[in-house]
Structure 1
Amino acid sequence: MLTTTSTRVVDPGELDDVLAVLGREPVNNAFIASRVHAAGLDAVRLGGEMWGWYQRGRLKSLCYAGANLVPLCACPEAVRAFAERARRQGRRCSSIVGPAEPTAALWSYLEPHWGPARDVRRRQPLMVTEEVPRDVKPDPLVRRIRKDEMDLVLPACVAMFTEEVGVSPLAGDGGLVYQSRVAELVGSGRSFARVENGEVVFKAEIGAATPHACQIQGVWVAPAHRGQGLSESGMAAVLRYALNEVAPVASLYVNDFNDAARATYRRVGFREVGAFMSVLF
Structure 2
Amino acid sequence: MPPVTVQQLVAKDTDALRALLAKDPAHNLYLLGLLQEYGIATADNRCSFSYWGRFDGKTLTAAVFVGGSGGLVVPSASEGAFTGVIADALAERVRLKGSVGEKPAVDALVRSLCVGKPRLSKTYRLFSVSADDLGPFTNPLLRLAREEDVPRLVPLAAGAIREIHDRDALAEDPHFEARVAQRVRARRTYVLEENGELVFKVDIGSRSQFGAELEALYTVPSQRGKGHATLCLGQISRFLLSSLPRLTLRIEEKDESLARIARKVGYLAGRTQRLVLTE
Distance 1:26 1:74 in 2: 12
Deviation at 1:143, TM superposition (A): 0.6
Q: TM-score, normalised by structure 2?
A: 0.87
Give TM-score, length-normalised by structure 1. 0.87
Question: Could you tell me which amino acid in structure 2 is paired with residue 64 of structure 1?
Answer: F
1:15 aligns to 2:14 (yes or no): yes
More deviation, 196-205/208-217:
196-205
Aligned length: 272
Q: Give the one of 96, 105, 109 matched to 1:106.
A: 109
Secondary structure at the aligned position of 2:23 is classed as coil
Distance apart, 1:19 and its partner CA: 1.1
Q: Deviations over 1:123-145 (max 9, x none)?
A: 31111111374342x11211111
The residue type equivalent to 1:103 in the other structure is V
Answer whether contact 1:130 1:250 (CA < 8 A) is retained: yes
Partners in 1 of 2:63 and 2:51 — Cα distance? Answer: 7
Name the CA shift for 1:41/1:266 in 2 (closer, same or farther; >3 Å): same
Residues 1:272 and 1:76: Cα distance change in structure 2 (over 3 Å)? closer
* One-letter code aligned to 1:199: E
Deviations 1:244-276 (A, max 9, x none): 13x111111111101111111111111112121
Q: Does residue 275 of structure 2 align to residue 275 of structure 1?
A: no
Aligned residue for 2:217? Answer: 219
Contact 2:80 2:104 in 1 (8 A): no
| Equivalent of 2:242 in 239, 244, 252 | 244
Question: Residues 266 and 172 of structure 1: is their aligned pair in 2 closer, same or farther, counting only changes over 3 Å?
Answer: same
Residue in 1 that maps onto 2:143: 143
Q: Could you tell me how far 1:175 is from its partner in structure 2?
A: 2.6
Partner of 1:78: 82
* One-letter code aligned to 1:83: A
Residue in 1 aligned with 2:169? 169
Residue of structure 2 equivalent to 1:258 = 255
- Name the CA shift for 1:173/1:164 in 2 (closer, same or farther; >3 Å): closer
Could you tell me whether the CA contact under 8 Å between 2:129 and 2:267 is conserved in 1? yes
Tell me, in whole angstroms, the C-alpha distance in 1 between the residues paired with 2:129 and 2:224. 24
* 1:44-123 alignment, distance < 5 Å: 47-66=48-67, 67-91=71-95, 93-110=96-113, 113-121=114-122, 123=123
Aligned pair in 2 of structure 1 residues 172, 7: CA closer, same or farther (>3 Å)?
Answer: farther
Measured after TM superposition, the shift of residue 6 of structure 1 is 1.7
Matches of 1:90 and 1:206, distance apart in 2: 28
8 Å Cα contact 1:8-1:51 kept in structure 2 = yes
User: Identical aligned pairs, as a percentage?
Assistant: 21
RMSD: 2.5
Deviation at residue 33 of structure 1 after TM alignment: 1.1
* Aligned CA distance change for structure 1 residues 46 and 99 (closer, same or farther; 3 Å): farther
Distance across 2 between alignment mates of 1:87 and 1:18 = 22
> For 2:27, what is the secondary structure of its paired residue?
coil
8 Å CA contact 2:77–2:101 kept in 1: the answer is no
Quote the offset at 1:168 in angstroms. Answer: 2.7
Contact 2:140/2:235 (CA < 8 Å) preserved in 1?
yes
- 2:245 aligned partner, one-letter code: P
- Structure 2: tracts of 5 or more residues without a match: none
